[in-house]
Amino acid sequence: MARDYYGILGVDKDATDQQIKKAYRKLARKYHPDLNPDDAEAAEKFREASLAQEVLLDPQKRQIVDRGGDPMEQGGSMPGGGFAGGFDTGGLGDIFAEFFGGGAASRGPRSRVQPGSDALLRTQITLEEAFAGAKKPVTIDTAVLCDTCHGSGSESGSKPVTCETCHGAGEVQEVQRSFLGNVMTSHRCPTCQGYGEVIKDPCGHCGGDGRVKKRRDLTINIPAGIGDGMRIRMSGQGEVGHGGGPAGDLFVEVHTQRHPVFERDADDLHVTVRVPMVDAALGTNFTVTQLDGTDLEVEIEPGTQPGQTISVEGQGMPRLRTDGRGRLLAHVDVVVPTDLDSKSRELLEEVRDRTEHTTAIHTEDEEDSFFDRLRARFRR
């Protein structure tokens, strides 16, 4: 049966954390092993008080206690400094319990009140929403607290009674004949399903489970700068546990849709700009409409080459956990005209005649030859 953690500390069920700590300190001063070196009973009471404080100061464990369960029956610390279930010995304890029953290896009844599982939901957002942040409505199907029995599993709200089949043990034993002789086996009680208790009048809405499936509408706060594939945690919005146990968490995995103009790389935004050949040679300005709808003027300097990248600091994505923004990286794509009229051709031919550039194969020594030519010009 579940321990009375409130009774161990001598506090009411609505006691605050400060009252729980105060009650524990009072018992600790009375039963501490250093003050009672030869008193085994005092040492046991000190251990119980320490465990009670640990349970009641943990919100999830305390909620299980308030619903009639014992959170320390699910693998937590046990009085006496041990651990529920002990160390993993390859399942030998379970084997002996299964064949010979009872003893220290007996599992005993399990708590009806269990913590709920976490839930995962995936949603898509636009790059604009990732840039500015947003409130995103989502719909999720999870187990929620039964609004008829409020988690008790009983139609009338009455407490469970001890199972008459297993007498509260959660297990039943039977003797079977084998070539080894009579062998006693233990298995989960078929009447109470291992809880040691039964609900006399199960709730007609949830069937005694204390929870039902329900579709819920939630709103997620998307922080500005969130990255693709990141998860947002919503505490207590997951599955409600069996018997009305505390709900798990909801994790929302965010994926960003492809944008027609910008490509994101961490905190940087990449954009490709198509620049006419003449503008690349003479220089110009172009306007980028940013993700928040504002316009940004970017300068292309005279002589800009095809494939050149123009970096603008502080105009990229917001940084998620720090101040500031990344870069805007504009990649220049120089557009060469393919359909020239006679006048345009004459002008371009005149420009070609005025320049000293000639068609040549690029080599790794091109930079050196340029400086060589520059030095040679100054020697004249």
CA 372 remoteness from chain centre: 61
Q: What residues have CB less than 8 Å from 132, skipping those under 6 apart? A: 224, 291, 292
> Is 270:331 a contact under the CB 8 Å cutoff?
yes
306 phi, psi to nearest 5 deg: -60, 135
Q: Is 362 annotated to bind ligand?
A: no
User: Backbone phi, then psi, for 333, in 5-degree steps?
Assistant: -115, 105
Amino acid code (one letter) for 182: N
Give helix then strand counts, H and E, for the chain. 9, 15
**Is 95 known to sit in a ligand binding site?**
no
Pairing of strands 328-335, 268-276: parallel
Helix axes 40-56, 17-31, angle to 10 degrees: 170
Known binder of ligand: residue 82?
no
Instruction: Say how far apart CA 346 and CA 340 lie, in whole Å.
Output: 10
d(CA 174, CA 100): 10
* 189 annotated as belonging to a binding site for a ligand: yes
CA distances from 347 to 50, 223, 353, 354, 359 (A): 92, 54, 10, 11, 19
Would the annotation count 96 as a binding residue? no
d(C-alpha 206, C-alpha 166), whole Å: 25
- Round to whole Å and give the CA distance between 280 and 332: 9
203 known member of a binding site: yes
The residue count of the chain comes to: 380
DSSP 207: T
Residue 156: burial class (beta carbons within 10 Å; 0-12, 13-18, 19+): exposed
Measured from the Cβ of residue 315, the count of other Cβ atoms closer than 10 Å reads: 19
Annotated binding site for Zn(2+): 146, 149, 163, 166, 189, 192, 203, 206
Annotated binding site: 146, 149, 163, 166, 189, 192, 203, 206
